[in-house]
């Protein structure tokens, strides 16, 4: 995983110039781990520096995406989310609170990905349902 204290080094290693905005955006992704949309990022950060433009967030996410610094998750139509954890893992979206949880994939997942005759470049796995918190608060 990427060290939050060495974001500049990491960005350079990925061929991205570590500007202030880029570092703050990546720091946000790494710190919150909330799989945010562009608007979530924008709204969260402009409190800190109100000069931020939404276009900058879009541009930065596109740049990050093209350099493999983030992956895009289209869990819901019209709701593209971004994840700075680009490793292979599954996502669970709670349909009640909207939170997106990560979960690891064990060996078994690799079995069905080993499809002959096909070259696998990207794999997306996600689930939707109700998370533990929401299940409990409904039991009232």
Q: Spell out, one character per residue from 48 to 87, where the chain touches DNA: x when CB under 7 A holds, - when not.
A: -x-xxxxxx-xxx-x--------------xx-x-------
Q: Is the Cα torsion angle 34, 58, 3, 72 positive or negative in sign? A: positive
Nearest CA-CA partner of 27 in 44, 52, 51:
44
Select the residue interacting with its own copies from 12, 54, 67, 123 (CB under 8 A). 123
**50 burial class (0-12, 13-18, 19+ CB within 10 angstroms)?**
exposed
Nearer Cβ to DNA (43/88) = 43
Select the residue interacting with its own copies from 6, 99, 127, 137 (CB under 8 A). 127
Q: Is 131 in the site for Zn ion (CB under 5 A)?
A: yes
3-class secondary structure, 68 = coil
- Site residues (CB under 5 A) for Mn ion? 83, 85, 102
């Amino acid at each position: 995983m990427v060290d939050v204290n060495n974001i500049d080094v990491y960005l350079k290693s990925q061929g991205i110039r570590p500007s202030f905005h880029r570092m703050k955006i990546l720091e946000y992704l790494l710190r919150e781990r909330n799989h945010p949309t562009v608007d979530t990022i924008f709204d969260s950060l402009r409190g800190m520096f109100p000069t931020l433009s939404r276009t900058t967030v879009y541009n930065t996410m596109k740049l990050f995406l093209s350099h493999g610094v983030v992956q895009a998750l289209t869990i819901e139509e019209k709701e593209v989310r971004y994840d700075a954890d680009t490793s292979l893992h599954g996502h669970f979206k709670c349909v009640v609170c909207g939170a997106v949880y990560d979960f690891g994939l064990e060996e078994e997942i690799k079995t069905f990905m080993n499809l002959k005759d096909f070259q696998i470049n990207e794999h997306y796995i996600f689930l939707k349902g109700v998370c533990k918190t929401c299940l409990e608060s409904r039991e009232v």
